[in-house]
Amino acid sequence: MKKVCVKGGGQKPLDMVLGQLALAAGKLKLDRNIHEKLKHPQRTLIVAVPVRMDDGRLEVYTGYRVQHSMERGPCKGGIRFHPQVDLDEITALAMLMTYKCAVVGIPYGGAKGGVVCDPSKMSVYEIERMTRRFASEIAIIIGPDKDIPAPDVNTNPRVMGWIMDTFSMSVGHSVMGVVTGKPLALGGSSGRLEATARGTFYVTERMCAHVGIRLAEATVAIQGFGNVGSHAARIFHEHGATIVAVSDVYGGVHNPGGLDIPRLIEYSQGHGTVRGFSGGKAITNRQLLETRCDILVPAALEGQITEENAPRLKARFVVEAANAPTTPAGDCILKERNILVVPDILANAGGVTVSYFEWVQGLQAYFWTEEEVNERLRRIMTQAFDDVVAVMDTHRVDMRLGAMMLGVGRVAEAAALRGLWP
């Protein structure tokens, strides 16, 4: 396979995504006007979020909502609460959402949002007040047919419930479709909580069949034990894979014979971390990434696999459950080492796919069973994997570029058909 690396691209997330877009545009011989349009987010909103803290002080947080593209439908993308949130990162993630939705063929464009804050140092009341004020500040650009947020790092169904309630109060009636990833009692979908991880599992299962290995005999290491990482550990474990290592922000745990995942999940729920679990040896996050395993699943933050550690990875496959976990320089090294990378816009698209199901079910006020949700998810993820492989085979490119070409091609087709207004 021909090796194509992003040369000269910086390590910042936006440079990285624009580098991937440039490669895909070159390979697709994309119209330069459409390429130019895709380089820019359609809308960027920066808001001040004043919050009354429990001790009476006023704290002002900065929030963002970036809408990259609405060529294929309303914008869609998560909201994260994290101290490292910045406009560069949110814009890059909004762009990835555009191509992710196109790769799985769901009728959305891409968006992302976030607030610069450290929720681990805030009370639940402070987080609620911050969420509600942020929701009301971005309410002018979100809505069920405009832009539909969802959970991401440090946000969850409860936070989505507050956003739904805040938006609903401002218009005077319940608007279920304004966010997805809601609690079941507020119009959430069965299977949404674990959908990203389940989608990652379906894609990995397809990849294993494609490369001729048995997932039930594979060893897996997972970085991140939040929504995506912990559900991935459980689902892979339930299907017979051996989870040899996991980690979270506080540290990790390793057992080459396989971790007892149900017991580890119980432990991490009780202690708020996997660190200190007695069923394995303590390791650092750095050691986790370099653990000997068949499949490495980064499920934490971006920029984890870099030029520095990529030469030492001992995995045969990397399945990117997190968004942008591999830097361009790290990616080049993995390519040279023939480590197959299933890219984020394919590997973690299960979350937005079931968000789409939630939105559809909410609009129809008709809800599906968990089996129906999972079966439809499996069909979409499997088809997306096969579509990406078809592009790889036709153009002789790696999987990241193949997925990007598929996504960019579909967005470009919509953009060309719509034309430019005015």
Which amino acids are annotated catalytic?
112
C-beta separation of 271 from 278 below 8 A: no
C-beta separation of 234 from 220 below 8 A: no
Rounded least distance, CB 119 to ligand NAD, Å: 9
Give the pair of three-digit tokens for residue 242: 């051996």
CB-nearer residue toward ligand NAD: 20 or 34: 20
CB-nearer residue toward ligand NAD: 128 or 320: 320
Q: Which residues neighbour 190 within 8 Å (Cβ) at sequence distance 6 or greater?
A: 184, 367, 368, 369, 370, 373
Rounded least distance, CB 130 to ligand NAD, Å: 16
Rounded least distance, CB 163 to ligand NAD, Å: 15
Determine the Cα angle at 190 with ends 188 and 192, to 5°. 75
C-beta separation of 241 from 216 below 8 A: yes
Taking the CA atoms of residue 239, residue 296, residue 348 and residue 47 in that order, the dihedral angle to the nearest 10 degrees is 140
Q: Which residues neighbour 282 within 8 Å (Cβ) at sequence distance 6 or greater?
A: 251, 252, 253, 254, 275, 276
Q: Which residues neighbour 379 within 8 Å (Cβ) at sequence distance 6 or greater?
A: none
What's 141's DSSP letter? T
C-beta separation of 111 from 90 below 8 A: no
Q: Which residue is nearest to ligand NAD (CB)?
A: 226
CB-nearer residue toward ligand NAD: 233 or 412: 233
Q: Which helix (H) or strand (E) holds 94?
A: helix 87-103
Q: 130 vs 62, 116, 122, CA distance in Å? A: 10, 11, 10
Rounded least distance, CB 410 to ligand NAD, Å: 19
Q: 264 vs 129, 225, 286, 300, CA distance in Å? A: 33, 10, 20, 18
Rounded least distance, CB 232 to ligand NAD, Å: 9
CB-nearer residue toward ligand NAD: 48 or 249: 249
Q: What is the separation, in whole angstroms, between the first and last Cα of the chain? A: 43
CB-nearer residue toward ligand NAD: 113 or 415: 113
Could you list the residues that contact ligand NAD (CB under 6 A)? 151-154, 196, 223-229, 247-249, 285, 299-301, 321-323, 348, 351
CB-nearer residue toward ligand NAD: 178 or 346: 346
3-state DSSP helix/strand/coil percent for the chain, to nearest 5?
50, 20, 35
Rounded least distance, CB 102 to ligand NAD, Å: 15
Q: How many other CB atoms are there within 10 angstroms of residue 368's CB atom? A: 18
CB-nearer residue toward ligand NAD: 23 or 299: 299
